[in-house]
């Protein structure tokens, strides 16, 4: 009776072929475009690159893009965790429907999302009218950018955390409770540490996606230089001026900052894994 659950045998044949195909595809799709961008930067030279970037308008756009992406991703971190928790742990009418709806921001063209959000939050929109008496304006302000980025980033957190919560044994919580831990303590010391790596991954994905988001944001942002002009829009504007070098410079700046942020998040992940064991 030499049978069991089918596992992939480790000495798989075809490593050379599959690795070759993988590297070819990766090169064409990811590595070459990035190399072309960096190559353009090298041709410009670091001094000129810095000169092109060193203006108030570009720094405003870059800080706005990264600030808005951070705020939206932090919001998604908390709200996405809650959503995933509710979807996994509770059984209620319409659960499957909500579960399916979470993926909508993936599927919807971002321009459609942007226009829909703008229509809702514009001064004459449904939410806009409700918020106006409170002196709050969402569309055409930085808050509008946050709203758009929350929308497109949410599924990243939910979809990375959800399977981990599904794997989470309720036994652990019961043990924690029988040993006298209060709910908050269980949440803080038992549940959250287990979820941390997945949460960080989801956060990083949402952040990376939001930093470069263009389609939905330009509709709801006012696009005013120094105030609500995001870095990707500035790249497009530089392209319209046929100033490919300046566009490449902003692109490289975004690439470098994004890479540094993702590296930092990965470092936190490694650290948290060491601390609480391999999850």
Structure-token pair, residue 206: 């949402």
Looking at beta carbons only, is 41 or 125 nearer to another protein? 125
The angle at the Cα of 69, spanning 67 to 31, to the nearest 5 degrees, equals 115
Residues making contact with another protein (CB under 8 A): 1-6, 55-57, 118-119, 122-125, 139-140, 218, 222-226, 229, 233, 236-243, 246
Least gap, CB of 130 to another protein (angstroms): 14
Looking at beta carbons only, is 132 or 177 nearer to another protein? 132
Least gap, CB of 203 to another protein (angstroms): 27
Looking at beta carbons only, is 58 or 204 nearer to another protein? 58
Least gap, CB of 233 to another protein (angstroms): 8
**Residue whose pair of structure tokens reads 């690439």 in the numeric block:** 255
Looking at beta carbons only, is 74 or 227 nearer to another protein? 227
Least gap, CB of 14 to another protein (angstroms): 18
C-alpha 171, offset from chain centre = 32
DSSP string for 122-175: STTSHHHHHHGGGT---TTSHHHHHHHHHHHHHHHHHHHHHHHHHHS-HHHHHH
**Residue whose pair of structure tokens reads 């509770």 in the numeric block:** 90
Are the C-beta atoms of residues 187 and 197 closer than 8 Å to each other?
Answer: no
Looking at beta carbons only, is 31 or 111 nearer to another protein? 111
Least gap, CB of 107 to another protein (angstroms): 16
């Amino acid at each position: 009776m030499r049978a069991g659950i089918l596992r992939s045998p480790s000495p798989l044949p075809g490593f050379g072929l599959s690795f070759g195909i993988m590297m070819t595809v990766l090169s064409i799709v990811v590595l070459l475009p990035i190399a072309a961008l960096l190559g353009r930067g090298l041709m410009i030279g670091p001094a000129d690159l810095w000169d092109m970037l060193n203006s108030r308008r570009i720094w405003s756009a870059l800080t706005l893009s990264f600030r808005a992406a951070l705020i939206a991703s932090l919001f998604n971190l908390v709200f996405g965790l809650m959503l995933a928790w509710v979807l996994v742990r509770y059984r209620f009418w319409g659960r499957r429907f909500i579960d399916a709806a979470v993926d909508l921001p993936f599927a919807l063209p971002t321009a459609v999302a942007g226009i829909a959000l703008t229509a809702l939050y514009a001064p004459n929109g449904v939410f806009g009218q409700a918020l106006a008496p409170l002196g709050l304006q969402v569309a055409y302000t930085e808050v509008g950018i946050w709203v758009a980025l929350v929308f497109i980033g949410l599924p990243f957190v939910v979809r990375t955390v959800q399977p981990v919560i599904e794997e989470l044994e309720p036994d652990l919580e019961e043990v924690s409770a029988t040993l006298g831990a209060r709910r908050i303590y269980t949440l803080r010391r038992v549940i959250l540490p287990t979820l941390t790596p997945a949460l960080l991954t989801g956060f990083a994905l949402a952040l990376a996606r939001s930093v470069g988001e263009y389609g939905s944001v330009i509709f709801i942002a006012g696009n005013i230089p120094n105030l609500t002009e995001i870095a990707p829009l500035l790249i497009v504007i530089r392209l319209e001026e046929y100033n490919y070098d300046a566009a490449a410079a902003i692109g490289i700046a975004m690439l470098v900052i994004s890479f540094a942020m993702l590296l930092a998040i990965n470092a936190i992940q490694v650290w948290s894994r060491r601390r609480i064991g391999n999850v």
